[in-house]
Each structure stands twice: as structure tokens, then as C-alpha cells.
Structure 1
Amino acid sequence: MNTFELKTKVIFGREALQYLQNLVQKKIFIVTDPYMVKSGMIDSITKYLAEGSFQIFSDIVPDPPMELVVKGVGEVIAYQPDAMVAVGGGSAIDSAKAIMHFSREIGELEKMQFIAVPTTSGTGSEVTSFAVITDKQKGVKYPLVSDVLIPDVALLEPELVKTVPPAIVADTGMDVLTHALEAYVSTKATDFSDALAEKAVALVFQYLLRSYESSEDMEAKEKMHNASCLAGISFNLASLGLNHAIAHNIGGKLHVPHGRTNAILLPHVIEFNSNITGFTPKDYSEAAIKYAKIAKLIGVTGSTVRLSVKNLINEITKLMQRMKMPTKLTECKISTEDILKEKKSIAEGALKDACILTNPRVAGISDVSEIIHKIS
């Protein structure tokens, strides 16, 4: 038996931020990063709130550590807000999720509303039960998974992603594609998660390059913001796989941006998961057949499943090349020596990562090591 439900109210499109007017009579705790404050972008949030009715916690950093969460919890409990508003990319929203959860439990703030406002089109964190917190001493990223982490409201305002630099548009957009494709071939995939993943993939191939090429293409910005959310809902239902399991550990050890790491891995993980051993239908895995369906969806189908999967991989690689993305870790200013030094621990960590449990093909240490070798 399966269930399908959405906890999060999603408000999308231009002027979505007007929803914040509902908070004008409440105390608000805002979680964001220093750039949002220094650039003045946070004013797009606070202009809807009454003066003196909010407190801003802007200490968020990439790969948020547990120490940051502890500090945030202390400030929330001291302030006693009616609502928490997370504004930013995955790091800000993930941090806010952890801060919100522990504040509700420790500070007896069970009724505190949680609103997520993404400023990048990538993580889908505004609708998921996932958060990633880093242990900096061990160099490991820990995925937290619990329905209590899901925001109550998500505000998808395309104006907030208008000024995102092209390189970040590429990284986050490829993260969306990875989310959708991993959810699509997950062992927990259903008709419902598949429908959301298919739409997200279609939107990515139609609008990501446009969003990368022009900051003024608001249709592309809005569609990629929607795609990110749809992919988030899909993988929240079906979970992820080997791609993210490896990426979490590469990020923790080598500090390559998450979306970029996912993109570098994606062609190789698709090839591994497809596991095509011959040329007849009996040689095609279920994952390969589903990848072939995606190839057909985006218009690059082949005469066989094998060719369709190959065409899908080629189309992903072509998209990355057009966005000037690296295809190897060494192109991310990571030395071969550092990769070799961390290779074993990355592989071992990937096999312990929760995301690997729903990968369509079981991977061993040698399989992961081989993938790392291919992207080095």
C-alpha cells in the first residue's frame, strides 16, 4: 500500500511573496545568509512585515555545520517567534529545517509556522523531508530525513532567482535534473512520483539553457523554479539513489558544489544503473527501460533501449557543455592527489548513505570506486 499527500502549501508565480502579508501581526524569525542581507535582497521579504516584528539570523554558510544549528536554536528559543521564514538556497533552508525541528522540540514551539522561500532553483528543499548537515571535523555530510522537516508553506517567487549567476543556474538546474531522474528510477517510484519527475525533466530540457543564457527570461526562471519544486516533491515520495550518495561524500571530502558534483556523476550513474548486458529486450533492466522513456519524452529516442539510453546520456553531456560545466573533478580545481587520497573514504561513505537504499542497482565498493575513477 502506498500513499500520496502534500503537507506543503505551494504558492508560485510572480507576486507569491504577497502571502507574507498574512504574517504582519506576528513575530517572525528569518533564517538567511549574509549575502541576502548585504545585497538588500532581504528587503523583498521584510517589506511585508511590520517594523520591529522580526529578527534576522544571517549566519548561514555553505555546508551548514551542526554548531550553526545549535546557535540558531538558542536564538529562536530566546525570541519565541510565531513563524520561521527560511530565505535562500539549500544551505539556508536545510539549516532552518534543523533549527525549526529542534526549536519546536526543545523550546516547546510546536505551533511555530515554517515557511520556505527558495532563492535558487535547485534543491527542492522547500517541499521535502530532507536536510543535509555537515560534520566539519569528520568531513561528512549527514542527510536528515523526517516528515517533521517539511515546511508548512513554500513561496516560489521567480523574481528572487533573477540575479543568480549563470554558473549557479547551471549547477542548481542540473541538481533538479538529477533529483528527477533518481526519483524516476528509484525502487520506491510510483505513478505519482513518476508523473512529477517526468514533468520536471521536460521543463529542465526546455528551459534550463534559456535560464542560463539570460537573466531577463522570466518565463524560463519561473519554469525552472517550478521544475525544482516538482522534482523535490517527486524525490520526497520516491527518495534518491547512488548519484546523491556519492555526491554527498565528494562534497564533504573535496568541497565541490553539490549540483556540480551531481552533474559530473549523472552520465556515469545512468550508465551503471542501466546495466545493459546485451541487445535483446531480456537484457534490459527496468531502469534502462525507464531511462529510454525519458529519452523519448525529450525527443532523443533511439531504435533500441540501448541507443535511447546512450542518446539520453549524450543529451545531458551536451547540455552541460553548452553551459560550460566541468565533466571531471580535476576541472573543479581538485588535484588528482586529493582525489586518490579520499577515494576510499568517499566510496565507503557512499555505501553508508541513506540515499543508496533506493538505487535501482545494488552497488559495491568496486562499483563506486570505478565511477569515481571515471570522473577524476
Structure 2
Amino acid sequence: MDKISIKTDIYLGQGALDRLTDWRNRRIFVVTDPFIIKSGMINMLFERLHDSNEQYIFSNIVPDPPVEVVTEGVEALGAFQADLIIAIGGGSAIDAAKAMKLFAQKILKQHDIPFVAIPTTSGTGSEVTSFSVISDKEKNIKYPLVSDDMLPQEAILDPELVKSVPNFITADTGMDVLTHAIEAYVSTKANDISDALAEKAIKLVFAYLPRAYNDGNDLEAREKMHNASCLAGMAFNITSLGLNHGIAHVAGAKFKIAHGRMNSLLLTHVIEFNADYKPGYGREESSAVAARYAEISKSLGLSAPNAKSGVRSLVQAIKQLQKQLQMPQTLRECGVEISTLEKMREGIAEGALQDGCTATNPRVPAAADIVEILNKMFQS
């Protein structure tokens, strides 16, 4: 028996930020990053907040927020005695705010504070998930936290906030969306509801990510990618993820590669591993996982007369998309030396096996399988 709860109210489309005008007489703890302040984007928030509110701005957020920043935020949250949290920024700001909210409840025994998430990138889907990723900088490890207590009560998806996102970040975050959706679709916990969410997200990415990459002012493409990110987030919040993210959490920290880019580098290799795909035209039986990937190909209108062809078509379509987005396709292109890979790959493999996301991967990997994937990623 599956249980599906969608607890976050979603305000989407142009003008969605106007929802903020409804909040009155609140002590608002705003979690954001220095760029949102410096760029003036924070003013889009303050222009809509009523004068009866008091605000405290916590802007010490950095990419892959470390435990120390979360601890500092929890202390500030408690001292301010906030009764509303608003996170505005990318996945790092929202993830940090989620962790702060969770620990404020557990450590400070604060009541369940309302939480509004406003993403300024179209990638993580963090605004609708029970997941948060926090880093230990000393150990170069990312820790996924999972708790429904972190779910935002509201998410505001306004495409105006993502118009200024640089094209390379649009590419990285967009490929993160695609990875979320594909992993949700083949997860061992997938069901009809998550399938519908994931399939729509995948279609939106292939249709609109190149447009958003080529023209940041294309508001239709920006809105569709914002929606795709949210849909994929809702999908994997039901199903969890898989080996792609299990490896990415560890390898991204070790190699200092952005999360979305790391997922993109892994994606075709993990698909081929899960499908047990081997090049050629043999008649060997295809796995049930391969058939699932072939269903994705069919939904995209790609050639999929059988499962093996469907897997091949999906892999080729992803590679073509990566080329359109001018993304690196090997670790070598990202500046990783072979000596660095050789030194770290065993540790990455062990860390990936322990990552919570790997548990719902459709094919159970061994450490040697992950090492082989990393080797293929180096210069395939």
C-alpha cells in the first residue's frame, strides 16, 4: 500500500510573488544568499511584504551549505523568535532553511513555524520535497536529510525570478531536473501517480530547457522549466531517487563539481548500468528496467521498437541535449586528473552504496559496478 500526501500549496506563474502580500504581522526569518542581496532580487520580496511585518535576513548561505552555517542559522532563528520562515534562492538556500527549521523544532523545541520556499533556479525541486542536503566540508561528504517536518507549507514559482540565471547554471539545474524525473520513473517505489509527474517533467525538459538556455528572457520556457522542476520534485518525494544521486552526492563533493553537472555526467552511464545495456544488436532478453526506460523514449516520440532500442534512443537523446547545452560529458573535461580519480574512486563507491538514495535504485550495485561507472565517465 502506498500513501501519497501533497502538503505544499503551490502558487505558480507570472505574478505568483504577489501571494506574499497576504502575510501580515509576522516576524519573518528570511534565508537567502549574498547574490540575491547584491543583485537586488531581494527587493522583489520586500516590495510585497506588508509594513506590519518585521524581518531578519540571514544571508550567509553558500553552495552545498555546511553544518556550521545551519547551526548559525538555528541560533539566529531562535534569537529572533521568528513565526514565519521565507527561503528565497537556489537549492542551497532552501535546503539550509529546511534544515534550520527541522533543528529549531528538535533542539529549541520551537513550534511548527510556517515555511515559504521561493526558488530562484529551476533545478532542485526542493520547494516541494522532504529532502535537504547538508555538507561536511572537512570530510568532503554530503548528508541527505529526510523528514516531512521540513516540507514547506507554500511554494512560490514565479518565472520572473529565474530570468537572470546564467545559461550554464540553467543547463546544470535543468539536467538535475531531468535526472530527478528519470530516477523517480524507474525507482523501486514508483507508482502511477509518480509516473505521471515524472513523465510530464521529462517532456517539459526536452521541450523547454534548450529554449531557456538560449534565451533567458523567454518567460514561457522559464515558467515551463520552473514547473518541470516542481513536478520532478513531487515525483521523487514520493519515490526517492537512485544510484545517480547516490554517486553524485559523494563524487560531487570530492571533485568539486556542481550537483546538477555531476548528475548530468552520470546520467547515461547509470541508465546503461540499470538497463544492463550493452552495445550491439544481440537478441538477449531485456530487463524490466530497460522496458521502463523504453517507455520514456516512447513518451518523447523516440524510436523504441523494443526495450533495447528504447534505451539506446534515450541515451542518445540525452547526449544530444547535453551538446545543445554545451555541457561537459566526461570527468576529464571537468578538470579531474586520472590520478585523482584513481585515488578517490574506491571511497566514492563505498560512500555511494551507503547513500540513502541508492536504496531505491532499480538494480542493486556493487562497489565494482560504481568504480566501472566512474572509469567510463572519465573519458567515454
Bin the TM-score by the shorter chain.
over 0.9
Say whether 1:134 aligns with 2:135.
yes
Partner of 1:91: 92
Residue identity opposite 2:16 in structure 1: A
Written as runs of structure 1 = structure 2, the 5 A alignment for 1:163-202 is 163-202=164-203
Residue identity opposite 1:124 in structure 2: G
Contact 2:277 2:311 in 1 (8 A): no
Deviation at 1:336, TM superposition (A): 2.1
Separation (CA, whole Å) in 1 of partners of 2:197 and 2:18: 26
Partner of 1:25: 25
Partner of 2:358: 356
TM-score by length of 1: 0.97
Contact 1:242 1:350 in 2 (8 A): yes
Separation (CA, whole Å) in 2 of partners of 1:227 and 1:98: 24
Residue identity opposite 2:28 in structure 1: I
Q: CA offsets per residue over residues 24-63 of structure 1, 9 Å max, x none?
A: 3211000000000011100111111245611100000011
Separation (CA, whole Å) in 2 of partners of 1:99 and 1:86: 11
Contact 1:24 1:48 in 2 (8 A): no
Equivalent residue of 1:81, what SS?
coil
Deviation at 1:111, TM superposition (A): 3.6
Partner of 1:206: 207
Separation (CA, whole Å) in 2 of partners of 1:369 and 1:336: 13
Separation (CA, whole Å) in 1 of partners of 2:292 and 2:102: 36
Separation (CA, whole Å) in 1 of partners of 2:266 and 2:277: 18
Separation (CA, whole Å) in 2 of partners of 1:24 and 1:221: 30
Residue identity opposite 1:234 in structure 2: A
Partner of 1:77: 78
Aligned residues with identical type, % of pairs: 52
Contact 2:176 2:263 in 1 (8 A): yes
Q: CA offsets per residue over residues 219-269 of structure 1, 9 Å max, x none?
A: 000000000000000000001000000000011211100000000100000
Contact 2:21 2:50 in 1 (8 A): no
Equivalent residue of 1:60, what SS?
coil
Separation (CA, whole Å) in 2 of partners of 1:131 and 1:354: 12
Equivalent residue of 1:283, what SS?
coil
Task: Pick the aligned partner of 1:369 from 356, 362, 371.
Answer: 371
Contact 2:121 2:173 in 1 (8 A): yes
Contact 1:279 1:306 in 2 (8 A): no
Q: CA offsets per residue over residues 277-310 of structure 1, 9 Å max, x none?
A: 7855x81211110110110111112322111110
Residue identity opposite 1:14 in structure 2: Q
RMSD of equivalent CA atoms: 1.3
Equivalent residue of 2:11, what SS?
strand
Separation (CA, whole Å) in 1 of partners of 2:220 and 2:61: 30
Separation (CA, whole Å) in 1 of partners of 2:50 and 2:12: 23
Separation (CA, whole Å) in 2 of partners of 1:23 and 1:341: 52
Partner of 2:7: 7
Deviation at 1:115, TM superposition (A): 0.6
Unmatched runs of 5 consecutive residues or more in structure 1: none
Deviation at 1:105, TM superposition (A): 2.7
Separation (CA, whole Å) in 1 of partners of 2:64 and 2:271: 26
Written as runs of structure 1 = structure 2, the 5 A alignment for 1:1-376 is 1-51=1-51, 53-276=54-277, 283-376=285-378
Separation (CA, whole Å) in 1 of partners of 2:2 and 2:355: 24
Residue identity opposite 1:275 in structure 2: D
Residue identity opposite 2:197 in structure 1: L
Contact 1:29 1:55 in 2 (8 A): yes
Separation (CA, whole Å) in 2 of partners of 1:44 and 1:137: 36
Contact 2:187 2:240 in 1 (8 A): yes
Separation (CA, whole Å) in 1 of partners of 2:50 and 2:75: 23
Unmatched runs of 5 consecutive residues or more in structure 2: none
Further displaced range: 50-59 or 127-136 = 50-59
Contact 1:134 1:140 in 2 (8 A): yes
Separation (CA, whole Å) in 1 of partners of 2:282 and 2:235: 31
Residue identity opposite 2:345 in structure 1: K
Separation (CA, whole Å) in 1 of partners of 2:282 and 2:4: 37
Separation (CA, whole Å) in 2 of partners of 1:154 and 1:271: 35
Separation (CA, whole Å) in 2 of partners of 1:223 and 1:279: 39
Contact 1:276 1:283 in 2 (8 A): no
Separation (CA, whole Å) in 2 of partners of 1:276 and 1:372: 16
Change (3 A) 1:75 1:296: same
Residue identity opposite 2:172 in structure 1: D
Separation (CA, whole Å) in 1 of partners of 2:250 and 2:145: 14
Separation (CA, whole Å) in 2 of partners of 1:140 and 1:185: 26
Residue identity opposite 1:45 in structure 2: L
